[in-house]
Structure 1
Amino acid sequence: MKLPALAAAAALALCSASSLAGTVGVFDRHQDVGDTAIAGKADFHEGVYTLSASGTNIWGTTDAFHYAYDEVMGDVALSADIAFEGQGVDPHRKAGVMLRQSLDAGSPYLDIMLHGDGLVSLQFRETQGGETHQVVANQTGARSVKLEYRNGYAWMSLAGQDGAVRYVGGGVRLPLSGTYLAGLALSSHNNTVSETAVFSRVELSRPVAMSAPTLLTPVESTLETLEISNKNRTIVWHTTGHIEAPNWSPDGSYLLYNSAGHLFTIPVSGPVNGGTPVKLETGALNKMNNDHGFSPDGKEIVVSDQTEPDNQSRIHILPAAGGTPRLVTPNGPSYWHGWSPDGKTLAYIAQRGGDYDVYSIPVGGGPETRLTTTPGLDDGAEYSADGQWIYFNSVRSGNMKLWRMKSDGSGAEQLTFGDDSRDWFPHPSPDGKWIAFIAFGTDVAVGDHPANKDVELRLMPAAGGEAVVLAWLFGGQGTINVPSWSPDSKKIAFVSYRPKE
């Protein structure tokens, strides 16, 4: 059954099995994809689909599985209840719902896969023959899944303990062109055996169209980590509220983020949702923005708060466990971004005389030192791991690009060039090798870093060079404003967003 490309935003009713060869339930065809040693099967009876398949895996650069599918165009939603039959041979046998550009074994695709051991993830291959990546859900054993594809984004919804299917995160931007395929997939993860899975309550529908987001569009938020070596993402926590700017604790055990003017901590991993967020005690401060972080020794936290009576951001320091803050910068606005590795100096952005520049100040307070004087916006000042450099972003070249200078403000040099992207917030890794940053497109003004945009998380060598994309996502302001590397330099933390319906 074809989904019409210009169908109205209404769910399409499931049809019964037709007499066409290869048809199974709502799907026009079913067949093996890739190298399968044992021929797969698909059956439809009284609303239930039963698939059997061999195949090495749905992963890497090529896939091997059985697929019951239909041709579709535009936005779709595909949902199902999934259950494996028997104990299985391999704990990573996979059954799920899949969108796929073609039947080629190395085709780009998006899916939600339930593994035999209970792991659930949104998998995706961005290019023909490219590597597969995934967003791992923060719950296991979900039997009901829903994959929504809207405006080039895939969104993952799973059934919770109460049985209700809700969005849990994992927004992945991967445009599929023209006609593509939507259906049910199964791989045994061992090509010498055949496994069986049952799919019930299957629905292939046209989702309600999302309006084009604006700066004021309300969003829900997903706190994630990304492993640098393989670009795989893991969901730590999802909330229907708005959160921003995670910092990784120096001991690697928890994340710090801001929401509605307050700070919260949450374990990096846990049995459900990474744990439970805990509000940090910050005394009289209750208008904190997304510029905050830890001292090098992990004993203190620095924050920027829209201090009364003039609501100008000022920098304060308080104990990492929470407590009474002390003021560091009496002048506003001042926005913290870096703490020197020796623990003695803060680097921050301040507006003085109508221009935003990089400043430094002793941790104990005192006179501030202006480090940049070039006209135009400078932002995101952060120290290198050895304290020799301060990295920042600046419009001084005519576009927002990354720069670095010696810690005394001398020797400024440009690090990113090339495309027209607006590059913001360079974050040096603790091992001194890399810079992670966020890149906006040309739809954003040169000196702006708004919310609710298509953005890229990028990685480049610390001394400059070619940057690679770590993730395409919906985000911007709040995604990765402040230092967010894990202490072992293997991961970064960030926030992705989704417009509320």
Structure 2
Amino acid sequence: MDSLRAAWGVSYPFELSPGEVWNRSGDKSFLEVYDIETGESKLLKKFDCVIEAPNWSADGKFLTYNSEGRIYKIEIESGKVTEVPSYFVNNCNNDHVLSPDGEGLYVSHHTKEDGLSRIYKIFFDGRMPVLVTPLAPSYLHGVTADGKMLAYCAERNGEYDIYTIPAAGGNETQLTTAFGLNDGPEYDCDGEYIWFNSVRTGRMQAWRMKADGSEQTQMTFDAHWNTWFPHISPDRTKVVMLAYHERDVRPGEHVPNKNVEIRLMTGSDDTGWSEPRTILKLFGGQGTINVNSWAPDSRRFAYVRYERG
């Protein structure tokens, strides 16, 4: 079959050149909110640029997102957009979370000295950013409800694993050691579990572990999907995740410009967890739902879909 594909010039989607897949110039972004109960999406705002990774505020009044290296805040009711002051922290990627104290966000910023991602705290009131992780690369995904601990994906000695660190800074603790990419760690609201995704079984799947790294348990067993970034709702009864079909990406790839699906799993430890089911199909991928974007009511979540320029 490989010989036939070569003779006919047929490529798998994931064999396209990286430049073609990652070219996002002229792309449009649509910030939308999905309602679990009605099954309907509502458009909040259209952007003539790439925006990524919405976070929903604890009071339900605004969302934050990243675009062109900066972090922005959009009021839900008015649609007013303001930039969050971050000074030299001006090359943020789509791995960021709001701080539970309401002061600002923890962000992942590619620093000028080496271009690698480090975690900083930035503030709504204009205070100077504070460095949390001197070691790099570090990509933030989770914070405990009390704001004391952060969880992130980091590359150390050639392996990508999950680490935690006090939000005030200090020594990091490695939680995973499985070969291959372990990514997207996110605390549940009680701080008991960390949800994450891992490629350790050969396909990217959703996993869960205790906050100390024990009891690492596979939660999805999708035969034909690579599942990324499981986001647990505030009431701990719903998980949404991004899924790429096996034909479109390699298991460890999380790229833009793909047809993807957002899938929902419901349940609890007492009743058991359902099989994931698709609730949305869209053009997206990287930036669609990288970080937790659940509303405080556990009924709605925000996401971004894209349109090619």
TM-score scaled by structure 1? Answer: 0.55
Decide which moves more: 235-244 or 217-226: 217-226
Paired residue for 2:297, among 478, 488, 496? 488
Partner in structure 1 of residue 256 of structure 2: 451
Over aligned residue pairs, what C-alpha RMSD do you find?
1.3
The one-letter amino acid of 2:141's match is H
SS across alignment from 2:128: coil
Report % sequence identity.
46
- Report how far residue 255 of structure 1 moved: 0.8
How many angstroms apart in 2 are the aligned matches of 1:299 and 1:286?
A: 18
Q: Which of 258, 277, 302 is the aligned partner of 1:468?
A: 277
| Partner Cα distance (1:322, 1:484) in 2 | 24
String of CA shifts for 1:313-364, please: whole Å, max 9, x gaps: 0001122444311000000000000001222100000000000000000011
Q: Name which one, 1 or 2, has greater alpha-carbon Rg.
A: 1
Deviation at 1:238, TM superposition (A): 0.3
Aligned residue type for 1:422 = N
Is 1:214 aligned to 2:21, yes or no?
A: yes
1:253-308 C-alpha deviation (Å, 9 max, x unpaired)? 111000000011111133xxxx2311110121110000111122323310000012
Within-5 A mapping of 1:381-400: 381-400=185-204
From the superposition, tell whether residues 255 and 322 of structure 1 become closer, same or farther in structure 2 (CA, over 3 Å). farther
Would you say 1:301 and 2:108 are equivalent positions?
A: no
Counterpart among 9, 30, 51 of residue 243 in structure 1: 51
Q: Return closer, same or farther for 1:215/1:308 CA change in 2, 3 Å cut-off.
A: closer
Asked if 2 retains the 8 angstrom alpha-carbon contact of 1:250 and 1:297, the reply is: no
Which structure 2 residues correspond to residues 294-373 of structure 1 after superposition, within 5 A? Answer: 294-373=98-177
In the alignment, the residues of structure 2 paired with residue 263 and residue 393 of structure 1 have an alpha-carbon distance, to the nearest angstrom, of: 25
- Give the 3-state SS of the residue equivalent to 1:486 in structure 2: coil
Match of 1:261? 69
Highest relative contact order (Cα 8 Å, sep 6+), 1 or 2? 2
Residue aligned with 1:214, SS: helix
Q: Secondary structure at the match of 2:240?
A: strand
CA-to-aligned-CA distance 1:111-130 (integer Å, 9 cap, x gap): xxxxxxxxxxxxxxxxxxxx
How far apart, in 2, do the equivalents of 1:461 and 1:366 lie? 36
Letter of the 2:60 counterpart: G
The answer to whether the 8 A contact 2:85-2:124 is kept is no
* Number of equivalences: 284
The answer to whether the Cα contact below 8 Å between 1:294 and 1:320 also exists between their aligned partners in 2 is no
User: Does structure 2 conserve the Cα–Cα contact (< 8 Å) formed by 1:416 and 1:465?
Assistant: no
Asked if structure 2 preserves the Cα contact closer than 8 Å seen for 1:296 and 1:342, the reply is yes
Structure having the larger proportion of residues in helix: 2
Residue 38 (structure 2) pairs with residue 230 (structure 1):
yes
Long gaps (5+) in structure 2: 1-19
The answer (yes or no) to whether the contact 1:415–1:465 under 8 Å persists in 2 is no
TM-score using structure 2 length: 0.89
After superposition, what is the alpha-carbon deviation per residue over 1:200-239, rounded to whole angstroms, capped at 9, x for unaligned?
Answer: xxxxxxxxxxxxx733153110111111112211111101
Q: How many angstroms apart in 2 are the aligned matches of 1:467 and 1:397? A: 18
Aligned partner of 2:7 in structure 1 is none
Q: Structure 1: which amino acid aligns with 2:43?
A: I
Q: Distance in 2 between matches of 1:221 and 1:485?
A: 19
Q: Give distance in 1, aligned partners of 2:205 and 2:267.
A: 14
Using the TM superposition, give the Cα deviation of residue 462 of structure 1 relative to its aligned residue in structure 2, in angstroms: 5.4
| 1:376 aligns to 2:180 (yes or no) | yes
What residue ranges of structure 1 are gaps of 5+ in the alignment? 1-212
